[in-house]
A and B are shown apart, each in its own frame.
Chain A
């Protein structure tokens, strides 16, 4: 069990990083990585929501959808759960932890359409993870996202001062630098755990 959890965690953070090897969550990754601070806020919010969503969706899937034979409604149910969850988290934080709420700001509602969140929930079902494994995969997947977005934000801050052809202005140069960071992450791909 412990080995299993360690291998899931390492896999989610480094080897199968959500962004650099599975391409989940690229929109916020490219959109919110202008500054290291905002990237960090976004990453923390994603960890939080991914962990919560994994837990709640696993419970609903196992105890409601599958027994009733409604597994084909998974996609629909999960996206509604995630939307509701994000809304709840937003209200809860606003009331009880206003400091964190104002730090996360607009990133909270944006997480609903982050495909890493829906992706992790669907992958939990696909890989037949149990409850603990699902939650661990959700949280460590979020940590992988945080690592990727913070690293990339630091790269981007330096790219601003670089000289590149005019037509690469904006998104293209971002994608090219992301490609190089992805290349670095490929170094983990040969890693074998246990």
Chain B
């Protein structure tokens, strides 16, 4: 397995949300501000990487029949660790994400990667898979939160960036973000559940469009190359 290919798979061609279409609950629920999106994405990234490494380490000693139960225990363990760490060090994020942090246990991305990838691959490959798949997930969350926050409230980086006393980052979720246009002109509905469904739907549609287009381009290029060959012969 080469790293470059894994990178491309995690971020684009096999993106967990946009292409595999799993782990959507949290994606739609918490992407109302950059603070929440980034926090959730990084939490999943850390948990996914840890679980991937542990699962691939123990892949040869776990019995086939009860592997899912063992995966779940490993995942729940790491989720609890991250949950407690967030409660201790970034309480604002913990209360903003609420029940969705413990719910990472049943996020299909993590158990899906354990089942589909780590069972068959080395520790190193699983580690990079965790990082790249996690990055792919984080990117989707970031795009969604930026779009929803900008169109809904007219700000960028809500909770994370504060510009009142010069530009600085806030970790307690108090920053108002950079104001781009006044909140009263925003489509507030995009920050509500309706916006979650709609934004994700449009995002996946754009992804499908792009993938189809690049596949067509490749096909055309292959055809052209073949024709050239025939002409040469």
Chain B associates with chain A:
yes
Among the 9-residue stretches A5-13, A61-69, A112-120, the one with 4 or more Cβ atoms under 8 Å from chain B is A112-120
A170 contacts which chain B residues (CB < 8 A)? 208
B25, A76: Cβ atoms under 8 Å? Answer: no
| Nearest CB of B to A109, in Å | 10
Give the A-binding residues of B (Cβ under 8 A).
21-22, 24-26, 28-29, 69, 72-73, 76-77, 79-80, 83-84, 98-99, 102-103, 105-108, 111, 189, 192-198, 200-202, 204-206, 208-209, 212
List 20 other contacts, CB 8 Å, given A79-B72, A176-B201, A179-B195: A22-B29, A23-B25, A23-B193, A24-B103, A27-B24, A76-B76, A79-B105, A113-B106, A114-B106, A118-B106, A167-B208, A167-B209, A167-B212, A168-B205, A174-B201, A175-B200, A176-B202, A182-B193, A183-B189, A185-B193
Which residues of A have CB within 8 Å of B24?
A: 26-27, 30
Give the number of residues in A that approach B within 8 Å (Cβ atoms): 45
Chain B residues touching A, majority SS: helix
- In the bound assembly, the distance between CA atoms of A3 and B25 in angstroms comes to 31
Beta-carbon contact of B99 and A113 below 8 Å: no
Nearest CB in chain B to that of A116: its residue:
B25
What's the Cα separation between A16 and B166 when bound, in Å?
A: 39
A84 to chain B, nearest CB (A): 9
How far, in whole Å, are A115 and B80 apart by their CA atoms in the complex? 16
Instruction: Choose one: B25, B189, B205; the contact of A24 (CB below 8 Å).
Output: B25
B130 to chain A, nearest CB (A): 19
| Chain B: minimal CB distance from A60 (Å) | 15
Give the distance to chain A from B202, nearest Cβ to Cβ, in Å. Answer: 7
Segment 123-178 of A: residues with Cβ below 8 Å from B: 123, 126, 165-176, 178
Whether B99 contacts A123 by the Cβ 8 Å rule is yes
CB distance from A148 to the nearest CB of B (A): 11
